[in-house]
A and B are shown apart, each in its own frame.
Chain A
Amino acid sequence: MFVYDDIFDVVVIGGGHAGCEAALASARLGAKTLLITQNLDTIAQMSCNPSIGGIAKGQIVREIDALGGAMGKVTDAAAVHYHMLNTGKGEAVWSPRVQCDKKIYQYTYKHFLELQSNLHIIQDEAKNLVLSDNAVTAVDTLRQTRYKTKTVIATPGTFMKGTVHIGKLMLEGGRYNDVASNFLSASLKDCGIKIGRMKTGTPMRINGRTVDFSKFTPQPSDNPYTPMSVFNRPQDREFLQCYITRTTDKTAEVLKEHMLESALYSGNIHSIGPRYCPSIEDKAVKFPQNKHHPLFLEPEGLNTEEYYIQGFSTSLPEYVQYELLKSVPGLEKAQIVRAGYAIEYDYADPTCLKASLEVKNISGLFFAGQINGTTGYEEAGGQGIMAGINAALKVQGKEPFVLRRDEAYIGVLIDDLITKGVNEPYRMFTSRAEYRIILRTDNADLRLSGYGLKLGSLPASYAKGFEAYKAAVESLIQDENAPIEESALNPWSLASARNTAAVHRKYAGYLERNLKEAKALANADKIVIPEGFDVAAVKGILIESSQKLAKIRPSTLGQAGRIPGITPADLQLIAIHIEKYRREKNGIKA
């Protein structure tokens, strides 16, 4: 075995949406970082749809952006179609969604990684973790290299024991035709981590030359448009169109006839898929009265005729996929270039994690992305940047960086994962956020950029502009005509200050209510459950509560309170006993 002649601070396993943000973040915080990816040419690959953002997801991208992450900037570099969703509804639920050129997206991310100081990239496959005294010390690869490290962030996506299903056909793979990672989850199991299995799917891609677009309703891009990153300004660019159509009665007949040939309904797949991204066969089974499901044709890029058919995710055999296409006007002659498929993969039960995304029992091991049971590029990126920051902070001996539920969707996401666990691939929805009026796209920077500057994940040169921007928003909330000098706000813009001040004025009463509730939450989260304090053994709490507490092992009283079924009385008793523990430790009369 070749032992690499250096000790890294952080080794990131996997170069997907979580891994890229994790590696960039830890390196930006000054940690000596190594990114191990099986294939440099599939870095930041958009394995499924060619778009970034969407309702609640767009908010997460803005949060990553506000913390200094790359996702928003890469999206703008690769954008071919912008759409601000929900503009017919209130600003709290506006969400940007951007169609991207998949290839530009990938190589832009790759270039960002290459330009990042402190970051090394190597094409190899992580095979197993080396532990010593319940702490990670190294990662061994398939090529038999050992990388010594202080921390590891595992972001394997759908690659751990990935199995691709097309009808009866079953193939190993993390994506179709990409090698699965067949060793890592066994290594994690050896570390005592509970491994489960999940499923997701993707539709077929077709050649646009074989499509009759006259049968569809075009969806043009917003123009003018709002960039995904607040640090970018709109510019002249080439746009592509998306198209919308619907399935027909004939589609329903095809599905009915071939249902048992689907991997989902033939018994080949047992694991749970995301209810929000159902396959077309799921829709037919669960809603037989709905025959005309919407389909969206989305371009895969500028230099390709490939189209993605949003809404047609399927694990039916290839010949049935052709039958499905024939049932839709305009797609009768469509040529499949990539078949739709379902994929099963290993994930780790996220209740094994602390709020920092570090595994509770193993010092220095962090998880981010689909390994935690989530779905979506944005959810992965959000966890990635947090894991990257926290791994770097750990190496530097600093306190972890945790976002509360009233501070960010990322906070909601991680808290839900570690407190409630998952029973299907977890997707973000705005309804998961109890402080939705606070957590908007227009104020992600106001909520988080202060942290980014303090952590060093945002360039220090932004600090002056940010202070001026905050002050400008405050003035504009008081008086919409307040005089503001735009140049002082750079890289922030006066237009966004005006916009966010107007939104703030509109929601004033509701914001106040949200903030008042959030204060109780913050208070409860300030009460830390000390390491060494057995929260499950507190006298008087319910037996059911004790079992849940033993499993989740919350780190704060707030987290304990968010475990389903924990009662207010349980919390009072825990609070009393934490105080007793504290007094005893400090030699105060109990």
Chain B
Amino acid sequence: MDIFAKDTIAAYATAATRGAVAVLRVSGGDSLRILKALTGRGAFEARHAYLVKIHDGKDILDTAVALYYQGPASYTGEDSFELSVHAGEYIKARLLELVFLLGARMAEAGEFTMRAYLNGKMDLAQAQGVADIIAAKNKSAHRAAFNILDGSLSERFKEIRAGLTELLAKIEVRIDDADDEMAPLPEVETREYIDGIIKKLEALSSTFGAGRLVKEGIKTAIVGVPNSGKSSLLNALLGFDRVIVSPVSGTTRDTVDASLRIKDFNLMLTDTAGIRADHADDAEAQGIERSRKAMNNADIIIFLADSDLDAKAQADILAQAQATGKKVLKVLNKTDLKSEGEISQSGEYDCLISCKSGAGIEALKDKIIEAIGLAKLGDDDILITSAAHYKALKDAERELNRAKARLKELELMAEHIRSAVLSLRRLIGEITPDDVLGEIFSKFCVGK
């Protein structure tokens, strides 16, 4: 019934594919409050563009362009705003999270347009396209729901669903126990039982990072001093000449994107311009700035070293990479040119390669997957790839933790568990009162 809550909804208006800018759209009565809280700005004039900083606690998440619309003069006819942010995955995911924390919820497919239509902002011809999209999504969502019912739902979700149903039954049977026939809910056991469910939820929500990487690709930045062979590595990984490789240092002035499939994962490679302190011209300086951005945006950084090049400059770059807090793979290149002795002394590297001979390239691929933590995922593992599902899991974890604090107040404990169930309904299906009563009647001899 969420779609009739007339509450505030949020979603990206831009597609999930890559682009420089992502536009977050928020609509509903809380829009202005949320916009003010996000930006720390006290006032917004409708239909004016503002350059704003998005606050995330003490930090600044991003600089963005904000446009506020006052209802009814807006797309949906409600108060709403749009925020254009840099399209980094982290920024996008975190911004959505912040907006949810401020009270918005994820919009359903087509919900903005439905509101627009119901508020008289468009005619049916305009709305029809969206109606078609809703209808199409309806079918796929229904298939997912059907999976829940016909038993093909993943065992993980089934376990969670069964656990919550059983928990509710244990509470409700005691609430209905008019003549105090039943022993009270055992506290230690119940707490452990709830913890068991929370652990299962956490196991799922913790895959969100990995899930996102699987869905959207692993952003990989290759850094190193000029001429360390970054573009050659890119080509070696790709297996064809994607980038012009020349021995003149400083050829690559733009970050270059290419994507590569390793096992089941997409690697989004960014070859950065060689970073050096004494840059030759302005164009190169800009390239260096982009490199820094690429590192900040990356999920993993490959630091490419060449023991023959400037040691100080290389140490600086490595320090810079490590300062981002990202996973950094240290890779020694040009092993074909090195002596046995030199190589044996290179224990500090994660991987030894030669872009020229191709030696070590396959090992490097494995290292990347391993480093990002995807190697330990089994085939039957569920990866949470959607921000909405991640939020649902986190909400449910929070509610279950609250339930644990209310073990003696059954009706309040039940409120929290029911909230958790409501959050999870898209993942595990609904648990109806009849489901709970069914569990009660099958497990407990109750009634007179």
Contacts and interface: CB of A to CB of B under 8 A. Distances in A.
A208 interface: no
B138 A558 contact: no
Interface string A273-294: 0111110000100110010011
Contacts of A589: 123
A262 interface: no
B180 A527 contact: no
Interface in B114-161: 114, 117-118, 123-125, 127, 131-132, 134-135, 137-139, 141-142, 145
Interface string A64-90: 000000000000000000000110111
B445 A567 contact: no
A95 B178 CA distance: 9
Given A527-B4, A576-B114, A434 B418 contact: yes
Contacts of B123: 589-590
Given A539-B135, A561-B1, A576-B131, A431 B446 contact: no
Contact of A430 (B138, B176, B445, B447): B176
Interface stretch (B69-77, B103-111, B197-205, B268-276): B103-111
For the residues of B in contact with A, the DSSP-based class is helix
B433 interface: yes
Q: Which of B6, B7, B118, B433 has the most CB of A within 10 A?
A: B433
B448 A567 contact: no
Most chain A CB atoms below 10 A, which of B1, B142, B168, B414:
B1
Given A567-B145, A589-B123, A90 B179 contact: no
Given A55-B175, A432-B433, A569-B141, 8 more contacts: A88-B180, A275-B441, A510-B412, A510-B415, A541-B138, A542-B138, A561-B1, A572-B111
Interface in B269-304: none
Contacts, number: 160
A570 B117 CA distance: 16
Nearest to A49: B448
B260 interface: no
B133 to A, nearest CB: 9
Interface stretch (A31-39, A106-114, A340-348, A516-524): A516-524
Contacts of B412: 90, 510
A513 B415 contact: yes
Given A278-B447, A287-B445, A572-B114, A437 B415 contact: yes
B114 A575 contact: yes
Contacts of A224: none
A542 B142 contact: yes
Interface of B: 1-7, 108-111, 114, 117-118, 123-125, 127, 131-132, 134-135, 137-139, 141-142, 145, 168, 172, 174-176, 178-181, 409-412, 414-415, 418-419, 430, 432-434, 436-437, 441, 445-448
A239 to B, nearest CB: 18
Q: Which 9 pairs show the lowest CB-CB distances between chains A and B?
A: A540-B135, A569-B138, A520-B5, A524-B4, A276-B447, A287-B445, A590-B124, A523-B4, A90-B411
Given A277-B447, A429-B172, A567 B142 contact: yes
Contact of B447 (A275, A296, A523, A575): A275
Interface in A539-572: 539-542, 544, 557-558, 561-562, 564, 567-572
A520 B1 contact: yes
B80 to A, nearest CB: 18
Contact of B411 (A89, A277, A283, A429): A89
Contacts of A49: 448
A542 B415 contact: no
A561 B425 CA distance: 14
B436 A431 contact: yes
A294 B411 contact: no
A569 B109 contact: yes
B416 to A, nearest CB: 9
A540 B118 CA distance: 18
26 contacts: A55-B178, A86-B175, A89-B175, A275-B441, A275-B447, A277-B448, A278-B447, A286-B445, A313-B448, A431-B172, A431-B176, A431-B436, A436-B415, A513-B415, A524-B1, A540-B135, A569-B138, A573-B131, A573-B138, A575-B3, A575-B114, A576-B117, A576-B127, A579-B117, A590-B123, A590-B125
